[in-house]
Amino acid sequence: MKSRGTLIVVTLVVGILGVAFALRITAAKKKNEAAKAQVEKVVAAAVRTVAAQKKDLPQVVQITGSVKANNEVQVLPRMPGRVTRVAVGVGSVVKADALLATTDGADMALRVKQAEAQVQATRAGLEQAKLQQATAARGLERAKALREKGAMTQLDFEQSETGAALAAVGMQAAEAQVALATANLEMAQKALDDTRITTPIAGVVTKKSVNQGTMANPAMPAFAVQDQSSLKLEGSVPATYVPLVKAGMKVVVEVDELPGKSFQGTVTRIAPSLEAETRRGGIEIALSTRDGVLPWMFARAEIAFGTTADVVVVPSSAISSLGGDPAVFVVKGGKSVLVRPKLGARHGDVVVVEDGIAVGDAVIVSGAAGLKDNAPVTVSGG
């Protein structure tokens, strides 16, 4: 009987402990769930939304590219040598053929003097040959007269003829010597001229790579000169728009580095063929106004071709980039939903959505920084 009582007591104790343990587990789960709910409530991001809408928008093609100068050249030295003078600096305005710098030309100058002396010597030799030919020609005329009178032997007459012929050959040789000396002078003068580094175009010096005392190398540009008398935007357009773009079309150009400003432009060239890799056609737009615009600034332009009706648009502020691709967060059921839409052209503050977002979808336009897919959000606006 004592053993049976003990067993009953043990059973009761174990049951009580089991119930207590179960109650503790249940309380812990409730506590964890409450804590989790509290955390989710605390970290819910505050966002502002705007509903996606349908609008009638102008049909446009967007062109992006870099602003370039009318012409730009890299000026290469024509002869290696140590730079003895630099005549310009970055920002200098120069005319075509203007001197930019010189290299050591002492040896070339001596060769020019030597060639000039050789030309003078050969010219003197030519004058002497001319006198000899004239003398020989007169002697031959006298010999002919004497022969007709029978006062000269045949041998003497032939000697007079030979002398006149040799004098003529001598004059030809002297003329050839003058031509050769003149060519040598021209070569020496060209070598001396090549010590002058000049610009082939008028413009502004935008780069200088040499200084007095440094070595000039014909394989390395010494200066860069830009003709900034006119500027142009070079870009490309999709193949479907190439037939629609015509030279003379007026466009408005915006430059990223000059926000809030717009510039007038005119289409001056559209490529007659497409680029094989991109299937786009090259386009060139001349800028009519250029206040503050500099070469190599990034610019964009739009060309309108009509109106597209009932297109879905979202504010440009709703577009972000995740992993290099466009992304939009839409609010559904109190949580953020990451959407990878197919986007079209941008029109002012809105962007066309070709697929992925429907009219009325609440897109997040503020508070999306750091937001993740399926994250809780609290919404204002929309």
- How far is it, in rounded angstroms, from Cα 345 to Cα 353? 8
- How far is it, in rounded angstroms, from Cα 360 to Cα 357? 9
Q: What would the pLDDT profile of 254-267 be if each residue is shown by its tens digit?
A: 998 898 888 989 99
- How far is it, in rounded angstroms, from Cα 213 to Cα 272? 49
Tell me 66's DSSP state: E
- Other Cβ atoms within 10 Å of 243 Cβ, number: 9
- For residue 164, give the nearest of 125, 127, 138, 126 by alpha carbon: 138
Tokens found for residue 381: 């606006």
CATH 2.40.30.170 fits 63-69+229-308, yes or no: yes
Q: What would the pLDDT profile of 159-202 be if each residue is shown by its tens digit?
A: 888 988 998 898 899 999 999 999 999 999 999 999 999 999 99
| CATH fold group of domain 46-57+309-381 | 2.40.420
Q: Are 382 and 48 in contact (CB under 8 A)?
A: yes
Helices (DSSP H) in 61-218: which residue ranges?
106-148, 154-193
What one-character-per-residue DSSP string does 291-346 give?
TT--TT-EEEEEEEEEEEEEEEEEEGGG-EEETTEEEEEEEETTEEEEE--EEEEE
- Strand, coil or helix: 173: helix
- How far is it, in rounded angstroms, from Cα 168 to Cα 139? 13
One pLDDT digit (tens) per residue for the chain, 382 residues: 555 556 565 566 555 656 556 667 776 676 666 655 554 554 688 888 999 999 888 777 888 889 999 899 999 999 999 999 999 999 999 999 999 999 998 999 999 999 999 999 999 999 999 999 899 889 888 888 888 888 888 888 888 889 889 988 988 999 999 999 999 999 999 999 999 999 999 999 999 999 999 999 999 999 999 998 889 999 888 888 888 888 998 888 999 889 888 898 999 998 888 888 888 888 999 998 778 898 989 998 888 777 777 889 999 999 988 888 889 999 998 899 999 999 887 777 888 898 999 999 999 998 888 888 999 998 876 5
The listed CATH number (3.40.50.720, 3.30.360.10, 2.40.50.100, 1.20.810.10) that belongs to domain 77-103+195-221: 2.40.50.100
Burial of residue 345, with CB atoms counted within 10 A of its CB: 0-12 exposed, 13-18 middle, 19 or more buried: middle
Question: In DSSP terms, which residues pair with 304 in a beta bridge?
Answer: 60
